[in-house]
Amino acid sequence: MFRAKDCFKTFDPVSKEQLKLIQGALKNNRLIPLPEDYCDFLNESNGGICGDIEFYGTAEHFFKKRFFTFPDIVNYNKRYLDDSFLFNRVIIGQDSQVFFIYDGQKKTYLICDRISFIPIKAFRIFEDLKKYLMID
């Protein structure tokens, strides 16, 4: 059975100062702050990637072999500032067909279709989303 954690590429953890700056940058860009449990993840790894599963961190990372820039969470979300569905929400990651979104109003993590934004599944905590994706 494929387990995403077997190939999950992580990055150096964020510092408290970096986390404070990213929370301020989210607020300055009309985005909601990251929830505590996602910040805990960033304290372990500043984002992560496995195949097409991506979770964004505070900095972008360039992969020479794939000629790919892994985006940071603020700049990625700026693309969608005018989308009403994302009011009180922040995209924390994606895979090839879905977005991983934190809903600040309902305090849940959503898996949503990338084209329609229709929610497919919801989780109360970030750990449950990771387990569902087999990154536990």
Q: What is the pLDDT of residue 2?
A: 41
Please write the tens of the pLDDT for every residue from 89-134.
Answer: 999 999 989 999 999 999 999 999 999 999 999 999 999 999 999 8
Neighbours of 124 (CB within 10 A): 12
Report, as an integer, the average pLDDT of 58-76. 84
Question: Could you tell me the pTM of the whole model?
Answer: 0.90
Overall domain count for the chain: 1
Q: What CATH number is associated with residue 28? A: 3.40.1580.10
Residue 109's domain comprises 4-132
What is the C-alpha to C-alpha distance for residues 2 and 58, in angstroms, rounded to an integer?
A: 28
Q: What is the pLDDT of residue 49?
A: 84
Torsion of CA 102, 16, 47, 3, to 10 degrees: -90
